[in-house]
Structure 1
Amino acid sequence: MRFIFKTSYDQDIRLAKHGGHRFWYGLLLAALVTAPWWLESYGLAQLTFILIYGIVGLGLMLLAGFTGLFSIGHAAFLGVGAYTQAVLAAQGWPFPLSLAAAAGLSAAVGAVVGLPALRVKGIYLGIATLAFGFIVEEVLARWESVTGGNAGLMVGQPQMFGWVADSGETFYFLCLVITVACTLAVLNLLRSPTGRAFVAIRDSEISAQSMGIHLAYYKTLSFAISAALAGIGGALYAHAIRFLSPDQFNIIASIDLLLMVVIGGLGSVHGAFLGAIFLIGMPQAISALKDVLPDTIAQAPGLKAVIYGAVLIAFVLFEPMGLYGRWLKIRTWFQLFPFYRKGLFKRQKAFQKSDRLR
């Protein structure tokens, strides 16, 4: 088991806490960089979608996992970013400018949607974001002169200053660079005073307010940053899917995104990517499962929904910390073996005095 003795504040906020982090994350980055050489085109396309959904998951994780504000209409921000990128790319905008515009417009919309978060919370905030999702879907369907309506909108390839991502490999590297940049940005944000304010709001709004944290400002900022990341993911998603229609950003897509961060592990940057792997890999697993099931079950129209619901219920009941929480338990078991105690991760109902006043 590794013991780390910290002797400075810089050491406490360092991204890589020890040599093991540098080794394993360096190995992961090397594997991702060399992926086009050891993955087939289909596997590379699936890995590209994992990176895209990982960016969206980072935004939703920042909102739900670190600020404690849940959104059931987050696919709307994904749609805003995707359609903004598609429209501007069709007008000849370079990819960096259109990507920045997609992130900026999504952030502005997120700030407006974040205003209800100043007065409502819990299930009422979820209803407000759900209503916003329906509004965006209807606007995308009715604004035919810009979005193409239900007929859809074709999206070209990313291009900037004479360079075009005209192959799966080049587009994968583009997504990889943007994903690494977004991940580093979120990690640095979380160790800054702003990120600590988000966590304080999540743990106790009363305690955070008593420490001088402006709740309205930081809640709105959290919504805006989360929406901006969803807009970046939406811009990449538009180029990956090459065709957009309003039904791609409906309530089902929002539930899938929320399911992604819950199963990945709330309150963890790793959980965003583990949830993205689950979201992309689960349909493949269901397709493989259909081959061994009886035809009456395999051809049932609601099989996918039943499996997703059962998996979510299982995680909520038996592993509320998600996939990353399960990995922490496995890692701790190996570190402490044979002295691992069964109830080490048992959830305790401990509340601060400020929470009891509600």
Structure 2
Amino acid sequence: MRFTFKTDYAQDIKLVKHGGQRFWYSLLLAALLAAPWIVSEYWLAQFTFILIYSIVGLGLMLLAGFTGLFSLGHAAFLGVGAYTQAVLTNMGLPFPLALACAGGLSAAVGMVVGLPALRVKGIYLGIATLSFGFIVEEVFARWESVTGGNAGIHLKTPEMFGWKFDSGNDFYFLCLVLTVGATLVILNLLRSPTGRAFVAIRDSEVSAQSMGIHLARYKTMSFAISAALAGVGGALYAHKLQFISPDQFDILQSIDLLLMVVIGGLGSVHGAFLGAIFLISMPQLIALAKDYLPTVVGQAPGLQGLVYGVVLITFVLFEPLGLYGRWLKVRTYLQMFPFYRRGTFKRQKSFQKSDRLK
């Protein structure tokens, strides 16, 4: 089992903790760079979707996993970024500027939505964000002069500095660069005083406020950053599909995004990527399993929703730390074998907020 002896604060906040992480992350990056020449075009498209959803998942993980603010209308930010990118790109604006505007407008909308978070929390915050999602979806459907209404809108091929991303390989590398950049931004943010303030708010708002953390400022900032990443992911999502319509950003999409971070593992950057892999691969696995199921079951229209619900309930009951939490347990077991104790990850007693004030 690896132990790192830390002697100063700079060593504690390093991005790469030890040589093992550097080796495995470098190997993963090399595999991702070589993917276009290894996998088929279909699987490369699936990898592209995983990268896009990872960007959105990083934003939602920052909001829900590290700040403790749940959103049931995050697909609205995805839609704002997608439609902003579509309108500006079709107007002839260069791709980088359109992408920046998509992220910026989504961040501005996120700040507006974050205002109710200053007074409500828990289930009431979820209801507020859910109603916002319904409002935005209705705006997309009714504002036909800009969004095209229910008929949808087509996008032009993204172009940057005279280079058109008209092939699957080019667009994959674009998404890979943006995903790596978003990951570095989140990692650096979390090891900064701002990120530590987010975690303090998640653990106890009373304690955070007593230490001088401005709750309103940091909650609004968390919503803005999360919405900006969702807007960037939405812009890439729109370019990948080359066509968007309001029904692509409904409540089911929001539930899928929340499901992604919960199953991936709340409170971990790795969980955003594992959740994105789950979200993209699960429909493929269900489609493969249909051939081996009875016709009545395999052709049932609600099979995918049923599987998602069962998986979510299973994780909430038996593995609340998600896929990343399960991996940590497996890794610890392998490192400590044969001295592993079953109570190593036993849950500690949880206190209600009222108990903390006693």
**Alignment TM-score, normalising by the size of structure 1:** 0.99
Q: How big is the shift at 1:350?
A: 3.8
| 2:31 aligned partner | 31
Secondary structure class of the residue paired with 2:107: helix
Q: 1:86, 1:238 within 8 Å by CA — same for their partners in 2? A: yes
RMSD, matched Cα: 1.1
Q: Is 1:153 aligned to 2:153, yes or no?
A: yes
Letter in 2 for 1:195: G
| 1:318 aligned partner | 318
Tell me the distance in 2 between the aligned counterparts of 1:20 and 1:188.
20
Tell me the distance in 1 between the aligned counterparts of 2:147 and 2:355.
46
| 2:51 aligned partner | 51
Letter in 2 for 1:57: G
| 1:339 aligned partner | 339
| 2:20 aligned partner | 20
Does the C-alpha gap of structure 1 residues 353 and 239 become closer, same or farther in structure 2, counting only changes over 3 Å? closer
Identical pairs, percent = 78
Tell me the distance in 2 between the aligned counterparts of 1:356 and 1:271.
28
Letter in 2 for 1:8: D
Tell me the distance in 2 between the aligned counterparts of 1:355 and 1:27.
47
Tell me the distance in 1 between the aligned counterparts of 2:350 and 2:291.
47
Letter in 1 for 2:71: S
Runs (4 or more) in structure 1 with deviation over 2 Å come to: 350-358
| 2:225 aligned partner | 225
Q: Is 1:207 aligned to 2:195, yes or no?
A: no
Tell me the distance in 2 between the aligned counterparts of 1:196 and 1:342.
31
Tell me the distance in 1 between the aligned counterparts of 2:166 and 2:292.
38
**Alignment TM-score, normalising by the size of structure 2:** 0.99
Q: How big is the shift at 1:117?
A: 0.2
Q: How big is the shift at 1:161?
A: 2.4
Tell me the distance in 2 between the aligned counterparts of 1:40 and 1:310.
31
Q: 1:204, 1:355 within 8 Å by CA — same for their partners in 2? A: no
Q: How big is the shift at 1:82?
A: 0.3
Secondary structure class of the residue paired with 1:291: helix
Secondary structure class of the residue paired with 1:69: coil
| 1:236 aligned partner | 236
Q: How big is the shift at 1:156?
A: 1.4
| 2:304 aligned partner | 304
Tell me the distance in 1 between the aligned counterparts of 2:301 and 2:352.
47
Aligned residues: 358
Q: How big is the shift at 1:356?
A: 3.0
Q: 1:206, 1:355 within 8 Å by CA — same for their partners in 2? A: no
Q: 1:58, 1:186 within 8 Å by CA — same for their partners in 2? A: yes
Q: How big is the shift at 1:249?
A: 0.2
Q: 1:206, 1:354 within 8 Å by CA — same for their partners in 2? A: no
Tell me the distance in 2 between the aligned counterparts of 1:49 and 1:300.
26
Secondary structure class of the residue paired with 1:5: coil
Letter in 2 for 1:155: L
Q: 1:133, 1:251 within 8 Å by CA — same for their partners in 2? A: yes
Letter in 2 for 1:227: A
